[in-house]
Amino acid sequence: KNQVEQSPQSLIILEGKNCTLQCNYTVSPFSNLRWYKQDTGRGPVSLTIMTFSENTKSNGRYTATLDADTKQSSLHITASQLSDSASYICVVSDRGSTLGRLYFGRGTQLTVWP
């Protein structure tokens, strides 16, 4: 069964600290993995995309990694800011169907305190 599991479910950190969010998936055949950021009351916004051949990719203070062998991805946030408080959603796409089906994690709710 194709699934996407994220951990932790929620996380509280102090402003300026770093944190790492995890995403494990069983989706096969794998096409790509995206991390989305969803602010409260808003729609999700894409942060980064990882394809099979990519190990790491950065977008400002956000760095995503992918280990396609173990089917794990992480999102590392450096020097957190209050505006980083949001839900971070891992989305995996397969390439075996005409739909290009997407599998969503439940998200990690990150709260950054001053």
Burial class (CB in 10 A: 0-12, 13-18, 19+), 91: buried
Contact with another protein (CB under 8 A): which of 52, 58, 106, 113? 106
Provide, rounded to whole angstroms, the least separation between the CB of residue 16 and another protein.
27
- CA-based nearest residue to 21, from 93, 81, 86: 86
20-49 binders of another protein (CB under 8 A): 31-32, 34, 36, 41-46, 49
Check: CB of residue 25 under 8 Å from CB of residue 90.
yes
List interacting residues with another protein (CB under 8 A). Answer: 4, 9, 31-32, 34, 36, 41-46, 49, 89, 91, 93, 95, 97-102, 104-107, 109
